[in-house]
Amino acid sequence: MGEVRAIDNYVVWLFLYIAIILVCSSIFIKKSVHSYAEYAVASRGLGFLFTFFTFFSTWISGATILGLATMSFKWGMDQYWFIAVTYIMGALSGPFFLLRIRKLNVYTLGEFFALRYTGHEKGVRLLVALSQLCRNMSIIGAQLVTIAFVVSISFGLDFNQTLFLTALFIVLYTTISGLWGVAVSDVFQGLLQMVGIPLLIYQVIRFAGGMENIVNFYQNIDGRAYLNIFASLGKPGEMLLLFVAPGLFFIVEDQTTWQRVNSSKSDKVAFWGYLAPLGAALLWLLVPCCIGVFSKVIFPNFTAYPVAFLDFVLGLSPTVSIIILVTILSASVSTCDSYLLASGMIFSQDIVKKIFKPNISEQAMIRVTRLSIIAFGILDAAVGTQIYDIFELYMLGAYIGGSVLTVPYLLTWFSKRMNGPGIIAGMLAGALTFYLGLRVFVLSYQMAMLVSMLANVMIAYLVCPLAKAPMAD
């Protein structure tokens, strides 16, 4: 009887969370349909609060929390650097690129490439768009899998059915309200994370017997290296490789970052609205690492960490358990909606408008964006039914994007000689090499990206002299 009452409480709070998200989104329905600029980039009207939280909530995902905790449970605190290097690269490149991106006044990464390679605009746009959509698919799929995993186990539901219902909910509110609805809901979800995640780490430490007991546990098993966040720094080769692959991709960032930079109401808001949450995220990443390492004291012999973790959360008092569960769900939802909206924008702006229908109206563009969000939501849910490793699915997109886009992006900024045919050939070589590296040579994602970037730059420079310089295109 008590278990039924607890499940009823979970259902009530879950529906309350859904209702709050839908209310946040519905407030901006009329605003979002006024123009495509309002729907896609909030007419450059996001203040610092919205910009901060929509970056923060997008970057700290449910897949990051659960995935990083799992890695740290297995291998220790130094797994922090696996994700931290991506934020460090963003922090290093952001001050150089951010304001330049705003001055270009382009909606998408594809438009940036098209400004440079005008004679080969359609081919470049299409390749950039497809690589970004593949990247987004992996991130969205990872979030949907995280939500479906948590909800299906918590309520005893079918995993695949939960996966598609989750996609339906997120697609619904993202589709109707555009960036304004996403930004407002991200404020709520970011605040929720700031309550729920500290509550979770407190409960883990409490059930582990306190920090002294945690330290004693690792001393007794000769595992003090697990507590050392700098253990990887003693392996400079591994750290350097992390900064290259996947780190270099995060110089490019992705469509969600470009969208928010262009949505900020001023250069100052864009600059600090990007760097402040980046710094916060770097600190915040320590929490899932601590959760994973400290949890080993609670269930030292359990190998299926995500299941053990969720059982632990469900075993807490109903109120605490609900707050933590909804926090993990909100972290996934806030990432998922951002990448769904970005995918819709890429498809409508870079493929439909610029390649197939240049004279499309603004209202038609909004409709196309909404329909593509629905299509990508269904497709991403289907991908989630095939790959169950949350963190593998989450990081796959970064490696795909890094293999195809990193080299062309840097060449477009810094190489005066590079032209359209060279860039197209390089991107195709990068994509093919990454695929062959995984399927034929069975390389790791990291090594496949590294080899693909080398192939990308080599082929780009081999083809470049065979065609006209950009100014002549």
DSSP, res 35:
-
Taking only the tens of pLDDT, the chain with its 473 residues reads 344 445 556 666 666 777 777 666 666 655 556 788 888 888 889 999 999 999 999 999 998 999 999 999 999 999 999 899 999 999 988 888 888 888 888 889 999 999 999 889 999 999 999 999 999 999 999 999 999 999 898 888 899 898 998 899 899 888 888 888 888 889 889 999 999 999 999 999 999 999 999 999 999 999 889 999 998 777 788 888 999 999 999 988 788 998 999 999 999 999 999 999 999 999 999 999 999 999 999 998 877 889 899 999 999 998 899 899 989 999 999 999 999 999 999 999 999 999 899 999 988 999 999 999 999 999 999 888 887 677 788 888 899 999 999 999 999 999 989 999 999 999 999 999 999 999 999 999 999 999 999 999 999 999 999 987 765 44
3-state secondary structure of 146: helix
Integer CA distances (angstroms), 236 to 172, 239, 241, 242, 317, in order? 46, 5, 9, 10, 44
Integer CA distances (angstroms), 346 to 76, 149, 355, in order? 38, 29, 12
Cα separation, 113 vs 81, in Å, equals: 31
**Residue type present at position 219:** Q
Count CB-CB contacts under 10 A for residue 2: 7
Burial of 103 (0-12, 13-18, 19+ CB in 10 A): exposed
Q: Which of 46, 42, 40, 104 is nearest to 272 (CA)?
A: 46
Cα separation, 132 vs 406, in Å, equals: 11
